[in-house]
């Protein structure tokens, strides 16, 4: 069964540094998402991406965050200047079809630790 893959599985970064989290969505999917889960808290929506542009973003997704689909397979999340509170598990997801009722399929996540 096709999967969403994320790299790296764990990223440790100094506060203030830039970090890029990488995702390879399922190949025929059209919608891409990033969510995050702070330890012990619920999964929170960050951003959705369709047709090479952001279609929706949350209040969390401020100017420090950006997303990109640099080629036909990768989908990246960049945090420009990391803060301690950015420490969390970041999940990439994708969904297919041209209707919004398709389930989102998640990767195993990248654990981001900011020191």
Note whether 88 and 112 are within 8 A (CB).
Answer: yes
The residue from 25, 26, 31, 77 that contacts other proteins (CB under 8 A) is 31
Q: What is the 3-state secondary structure (H, E, C) of the chain?
A: CCCCEEECCEEEECCCCCEEEEEECCCCCCEEEEEEECCCCCEEEEEEEECCEEEEECCCCCCCEEEECCCCCCEEEEECCCCHHHCEEEEEEEECCCCCCCCCEECCCEEEEEC
Q: How many residues bind other proteins (CB under 8 A)?
A: 28
Of 14-22, 49-57, 64-72, 74-82, which part binds other proteins (CB under 8 A)?
49-57
Note whether 107 and 92 are within 8 A (CB).
Answer: yes
The residue from 11, 13, 57, 65 that contacts other proteins (CB under 8 A) is 57
Query: CB 103 → other proteins: shortest distance, Å?
Result: 4
User: Does residue 48 belong to the site contacting other proteins (CB under 8 A)?
Assistant: yes
User: Does residue 77 belong to the site contacting other proteins (CB under 8 A)?
Assistant: no
Closer residue to other proteins, CB minimum distance, 1 or 14: 1
Query: Which residues of this protein are in contact with other proteins, per CB under 8 A?
Result: 4, 6, 31, 33, 35, 41-45, 48, 50, 55-58, 91, 93, 95, 100-101, 103-109
């Amino acid at each position: 069964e096709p999967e969403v893959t994320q790299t790296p599985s764990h990223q440790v970064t100094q506060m203030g540094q830039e970090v890029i989290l990488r995702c390879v969505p399922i190949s025929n999917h059209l919608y891409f998402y990033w969510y995050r889960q702070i330890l012990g808290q619920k999964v929170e929506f960050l951003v959705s991406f369709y047709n090479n542009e952001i279609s929706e973003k949350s209040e969390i997704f401020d100017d420090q965050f950006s997303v990109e689909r640099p080629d036909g397979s990768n989908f990246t999340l960049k945090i420009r200047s990391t803060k301690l509170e950015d420490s969390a598990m970041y999940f990439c997801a994708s969904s297919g079809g041209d209707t919004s009722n398709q389930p989102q399929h998640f990767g195993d996540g990248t654990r981001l630790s900011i020191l």
